[in-house]
Amino acid sequence: MDFEPYRGELVAFCYRMVGSVHEAEDLVQETLLRAWKARDRYDPARAGVRTWLYRIATNVCLTALEGRGRRPLPSGLGVPSGDPEAPLRPALDVPWLEPFPDARFDVEVRGDLRLAWVAAVQVLPARQRAVLVLREVLAFTAAEVAEQLGTTVAAVNSALQRARAALVGVGVAGAGAVAEPDDPQVRAVVQRYVRAFEAADVPALVRLLADDAVLEMPPVPLWYRGSRDYGRFIERVFRMRGTGWGVRELTAGGQPALAAYVPGPGGGHRLHTLQVLTVDGGRIAHNVVFADPRVFDAFGLPGEIPAGELRRER
């Protein structure tokens, strides 16, 4: 039996459940190992291979989530800061939510991988989370999910109803449709943002922001709301790190993303952050800025780029 064709979608499933790509890959490895050991007991009359693998993966995830808190973003922990000069102290004891590296996995539907949706799902109890993802994202039937979870169809339907209500309560109605990174309007906004960022033109950058734009920077627990505070913080960044930055464009969880490189002492550029953008209504509505080397590693980003190479990519 060949399980490899299912690896990418299983990683995406486990990521939706646990909020970490690195952990998701470990859980999928455990899933495939269990499947291989149990292959002689697989009964094709009861379920297809894909459904069977998801049953194993669901149980692996539920076991991993026992007694564990959620993976948050800073905006899920407290009120925004009004001080753009506040100390940038990382909270390394918090298991922060991570972005999903699109380029590494063959996953057809990515709207449900966007950060806001995955962060909201993290609030749900683990079994509700599993029901929501299996039913609404992966389109398994209620009977199939009941079999995967060892419960009844009525219990599945009840859990799905509670999960939907909980997401509405935190302002996320469902996986839904979002503007894709290759949407012409989205691309135009992102490219204008990149030009303003590389030019260190803060007023131009602020003009591209929604009035209530959010900026957050895990593992630093601070976050800012509003174009004014967003711009004041970016001014601080350029004051601290200098100008002449370079940017590589990519995608994360179906959202436009930017790998930001700060000028290095030798004339090249050094990786500083991965920024995941939400574009809404022709404006940047949200920017989650990651500075965790584990996130950089998941995206396969080079730590340094020689002088002139970023420009040659344009």
Q: CATH number of the domain that 97 lies in?
A: 3.10.450.50
Residue 135 maps to a domain = no
pLDDT at position 47, please? 82
**Residue 57: what are its φ and ψ, rounded to 5°?**
-60, -40
**What sections of the chain are H helices per DSSP?**
7-18, 21-37, 49-65, 115-121, 126-132, 142-149, 153-169, 184-198, 202-207, 227-241, 293-298, 309-313
In a domain, 155, yes or no: no
- Please enumerate in sequence order all residues whose Cβ is within 8 A of that of 244, keeping only pairs 6 or more positions apart, or say none: 198, 200, 263
**What phi and psi values does residue 164 have, to the nearest 5 degrees?**
-60, -45
243 inside domain? yes
19: phi then psi, degrees, rounded to nearest 5: 75, 15
Residue 38 lies in a domain: no
Q: What SS3 class is residue 12?
A: helix
Report the sign of the C-alpha dihedral through residues 75, 78, 84, 87, in that order: negative
57 within some domain: no
What does the pLDDT profile of the chain (314 residues) look like in tens digits? 788 899 999 999 999 999 999 999 999 999 999 999 998 888 887 888 999 999 999 999 999 999 888 899 999 998 999 899 999 999 999 999 999 999 988 776 565 889 999 999 999 999 999 999 999 989 999 999 999 999 999 999 999 999 999 988 877 755 544 566 778 899 999 999 999 999 999 999 999 999 999 999 999 999 999 999 999 999 999 999 999 999 999 999 999 999 999 998 878 899 999 999 999 999 999 999 999 999 999 999 999 998 777 654 54
List the structure tokens of 295. Answer: 């996130």
- pLDDT reported for residue 174: 55
Kindly state whether residue 201 falls inside one of the protein's structural domains.
Answer: yes
> 177 lies in a domain?
yes
Collapse the DSSP code of 299 into the 3-class scheme (helix H, G, I; strand E, B; otherwise coil) and give the result.
Answer: coil
Among candidate residues 13, 1, 104, the one with its CA nearest the CA of residue 54: 13
Q: Which domain holds residue 211?
A: 71-123+170-314
What is the predicted pLDDT for the residue at 266? 77
Counted domains in the chain: 1
What gap in Å lies between CA 134 and CA 124, rounded to an integer? 14
